[in-house]
Structure 1
Amino acid sequence: MQSLRDLGVNISEEQAEKILRRIRRGHIWAPIMYMDKNGTMTIDWNEWRDYHLLHPADNIPEIILYWKHSSIFDVGESLMVPDEFTAEEKKMGMLWRHLVAGGGAGAVSRTCTAPLDRLKVLMQVHSSKSNSMRIAGGFAQMIREGGTRSLWRGNGINVLKIAPESAIKFVAYEQIKRLIGSNQETLGITERLVAGSLAGAIAQSSIYPMEVLKTRLALRKTGQYSGIQDCAKHIFQREGVAAFYKGYIPNMLGIIPYAGIDLAVYETLKNSWLQHYATDSADPGVFVLLACGTTSSTCGQLASYPLALVRTRMQAQASLGGGPQMSMTGLFRHIIRTEGPIGLYRGLAPNFMKVIPSVSISYVVYEYLKITLGVQSK
């Protein structure tokens, strides 16, 4: 009060206490930070330095919690390594609130980008050297064949599988962490990769028939099926139970490069940002989070895309009619022989076109739902 009075500013004792007990403003889940840490109502050099130079990066647990729970992105592949939660957060119900927020964000982002997703499937299955499908031509063909509503074919099952897949993945991840025998609250990057990949494989195995249904519904002609149940019935009657697991092997193999590269790139970008720019704030901001999530997801998809293409073609084989039923290795050889390596990347353009809008929509909806559900770091 005396120092400010010497500068010509008169404040009351109550105002002085508010200054000394400044609360950090910003995100709704931001930690409360006191300049006067020891409650003596005086500020020494260490307290002044920590507050103004290190604030809020001196609180390492809060930085970790922010990074752990502010970067869930859904680009329609749903193979990200699951998040980790402390015992205290689980008791408070944070895990299930995050799952609901993530599921809602995924549903909205997938619905908004569904036309690009369907175009990707059509290009993966039908595009070739002799039948080169372009983006504009693909959209025109879909609208001509089935009207504007046809752009969203297969989206219903794509949204429905979010909840069971996410729940199974989180439960499996927790169990695998215990089996690994780690006593730490947070796993290292190698352990996370192993546990996350295995959890992703278990979740994908559980809901894989829904993946096949999604592909068949996206490829269907107008009036071919009346809905999800009718499509499942037709596949079962004509092809048997085995048809629901076509493309299963390339799908499982694709989890490892996707999850591994996604996690490795994200961790590298995250650590680089924290080391170089976290001296002023632990809040990375929207653009940093979008850049990290978009870049890591794009790299993961690029590495696993040939396997995803082969999986989709295997899922669609019986519906094409008259064509040979090839194995995974047979399809790889056939594509490279007839189309060259570029044939393994058919549909890549619409797939990448949907990444940025999907990540952006997912982030905005996720943050809004987290606030609505009262999700806080502490």
Structure 2
Amino acid sequence: MFRFLRGALLPEAACQEANNNSSRYENLFKKLDLNEDGRVDIAELHVGLKALGIPLGRDAEEKIFKTGDSNKDGQLDFEEFMQYLKDHEKKMKLAFKSLDKNNDGKIEASEIVESLKLLGINISEQQAEKILQSIDADGTMSVDWNEWRDHFLFNPATDIEEIIRYWKHSTVLDIGDSLTIPDEFTEEEKKSGQWWRQLLSGGVAGAVSRTGTAPLDRLKVMMQVHSSKSNKMNISNGLKQMVKEGGVRSLWRGNGVNVIKIAPETAVKFWAYEQYKKLFANEDGKIGTVERFVSGSLAGATAQTSIYPMEVLKTRLAVGKTGQYSGMFDCARKILKREGLTAFYKGYVPNILGIIPYAGIDLAVYEALKTAWLDHYASDSANPGVFVLLGCGTVSSTCGQLASYPLALIRTRMQAQALLEGAPQLNMVGLFQRIIANEGILGLYRGIGPNFMKVLPAVSISYVVYEKMKQNLGIA
């Protein structure tokens, strides 16, 4: 992407780097100072970089300005521009050295593989060569400091983990089923407080996303509990029944609990993930992909255990009739009085069992899609971009849901059994056998239509809100 820096714009840089830095910066500054007033504003930066073939996007451009604009006047003069590039090059030098494992002054495919493996990302040497090709300007299949510096000159990333962070699965995707592997944060993010800002952004995005898709979520629960061969509830008549029974507001019944549980679940999952990683880490403090998956699954199970009573409340409120419960606390009080404490953990076993296929398939499909993209499309850049990552995340989450859905249906039926008059109180195995006998295999997928319908809007809403929250919290 940045090969022009070694050609038309920066022909002297490779030969006389030490002496020509100022003229190199000045030459580049002139290319961006479109109105030649000695200052570059963000509009000029956007247009200038686009004209030079470096479309970074608003987030990256704003991050450059926030870092470089020392007097906060909304413009970069030449001194600020030069100081930003000098400071940025120092950070890029440290990143380069962290990849250059044998200290020979160049990065090779094997070193890319080793570095990514330490961050929990496994790729082949052929895939690493694809990454090198996007940076390698002279065709040697190795990257020296000049090539590295020129390629990442305007990339606002500050270290190697940030440079490759686009390969990590993000908390931005919230489809209402928080069973995914938690995100990780670097030591720098933990010290700066950026970790809680990202978690807060993800939490708010999840709350807005779940609220926006709540009618489909409640419809899914209603179809899981009430739909059968004799009662063929579909999407259209299901929505009509809910509106007829309780009005338009009833479409959001149970959503309050679904939103409230985001905060404690996220907090417990993040804390537990860090503890499990320490438990499985080797003597050097490093952790492999398998250990990372096990840690994430256990963290998910720990979080689900801590908030599971709220899952029961959500289901009971969703399938309850108008006036049956005045709210979350009234629902909890009535369940405790009539059924005892154990009622708050009905369906717990299938819920916990569902984490393993969901998280495993979600992670496996996500990695497979990223690998396929890297193999077939990573010719000019190793960065897949926002839409590719959102696509990978949406497909992988959908596949994870498809695999774990029967367990989710069993869980919901067990949670709601006490509300169904005359229905036997079956355990997981008994309920599974009864559904297969009466409804066949398709009976295990009741409600999957609205469940899939909510994925795309949920992902879209959560992404937009997540980006806006990041901007407002200063982490765009």
Query: Quick check: TM above 0.5?
Result: yes
Pick closer, same or farther for the CA change 1:220–1:186 going to 2, 3 Å.
farther
Match of residue 224, structure 1, among 324, 336, 348: 324
Residue 206 of structure 2: SS of its match in structure 1? helix
Partner of residue 112 from structure 1, selected from 212, 234, 237 = 212
Query: 1:170-319 maps to which residues of 2 (within 5 A)?
Result: 170-182=270-282, 187-319=287-419
CA contact (8 A) 1:269 1:292 kept: yes
| Aligned match for 1:83, one of 156, 178, 183 | 183
The CA distance in 2 between the partners of 1:238 and 1:327, in whole Å, is: 19
- The structural deviation recorded for 1:269 is 1.7
SS in 1 for 2:292: helix
**Alpha-carbon separation, structure 2, partners of 1:322 and 1:145:** 22
Look up the match of 2:29.
18
Percent identical among aligned pairs is: 64
Paired residues for 1:62-141 under 5 Å: 62-68=162-168, 72-141=172-241
Q: CA deviation at 1:86?
A: 1.2
| Partner in structure 1 of residue 124 of structure 2 | none
Paired residue for 1:8? none
Alignment: residue pair count: 363
Shift of 1:15: 4.4
Q: Measure, in 1, the Cα distance between the counterparts of 2:152 and 2:412.
A: 50
Structure 1's 366 and 74: CA in aligned 2 closer, same or farther, altered over 3 A?
A: same
The alpha carbon displacement at 1:93 in A equals 0.7
Map Cα deviations across residues 314-371 of structure 1 (whole Å, 9 max, x no partner). 0000011221100100001000000000000000000000011101111111111112
Q: Structure 1 residues 69 and 183, CA, compared in 2 at 3 Å: closer, same or farther? A: farther
In structure 1, distance between residues paired with 2:196 and 2:378: 29
Q: Could you tell me how far apart the structure 2 residues matched to 1:76 and 1:321 are? A: 29
Equivalent AA in structure 1 for residue 396 of structure 2: S
In 2, Cα distance between equivalents of 1:208 and 1:337 = 29
The CA distance in 1 between the partners of 2:222 and 2:431, in whole Å, is: 17
Q: What amino acid is the match of 2:29?
A: K
Secondary structure of the structure 2 residue equivalent to 1:326: coil
Structure 1 residues 373 and 187: alpha-carbon distance in aligned structure 2, compared to 1, 3 A threshold:
farther
Of 46, 51, 59, 1:28 maps to: 59
Select the residue among 161, 184, 188 that pairs with 1:61: 161
TM-score, reference length from structure 2: 0.70
Distance 2:461 2:393 in 1: 12
The equivalent of 1:142 in structure 2 is: 242
Q: Name the stretch that deviates more: 365-374 or 283-292.
A: 283-292
Paired residue type of 2:59: I
Aligned to 2:464: 364
Unaligned segments of structure 1, at least 5 residues: 5-11, 39-43
TM alignment of 1:42-57, pairs within 5 A? none
1:26 is displaced (CA, Å) by 2.3
CA distance in 1, matches of 2:191, 2:285: 15
Q: Which moved more, 1:318-327 or 1:66-75?
A: 66-75
Counterpart of 1:28, as a letter, is D
Gapped regions of structure 2 (runs ≥ 5): 1-7, 10-21, 33-44, 65-83, 91-136, 139-143
Q: Does the 8 Å contact 2:89/2:149 carry over to 1?
A: no
Please say if 1:329 is aligned against 2:340: no
Q: Residue 37 of structure 1: CA displacement?
A: 6.0
Q: Which amino acid aligns with 1:164?
A: P
Instruction: Indicate if the aligned counterparts of 1:86 and 1:185 stay in contact, CA closer than 8 A.
Output: no
Q: Which amino acid aligns with 1:348?
A: I
Distance 1:313 1:149 in 2: 24
Following the alignment from structure 1 to structure 2, what is the Cα–Cα distance between the partners of residues 276 and 52?
25
**Cα gap change, 1:54 to 1:18, in 2 (>3 Å):** closer
Q: Which residue of 1 aligns with 2:117?
A: none
1:183-234: CA deviation from partner (whole Å, max 9, x where unpaired) = 6677432122100100000000000000000000001111111100000000
Aligned partners of 1:97 and 1:373 also within 8 Å:
yes
Q: Output the CA distance in 2 between the equivalents of 1:96 and 1:371.
A: 14
Higher RCO (Cα < 8 Å, 6 or more apart): 1
With normalisation by structure 1, the TM-score equals 0.87
* Separation in structure 2 between the aligned mates of residue 177 and residue 49 of structure 1, nearest angstrom: 36
In the TM superposition, residue 72 of structure 1 has moved relative to its aligned partner by: 2.7
Asked if the contact 1:262/1:299 (under 8 Å) is kept, the reply is yes
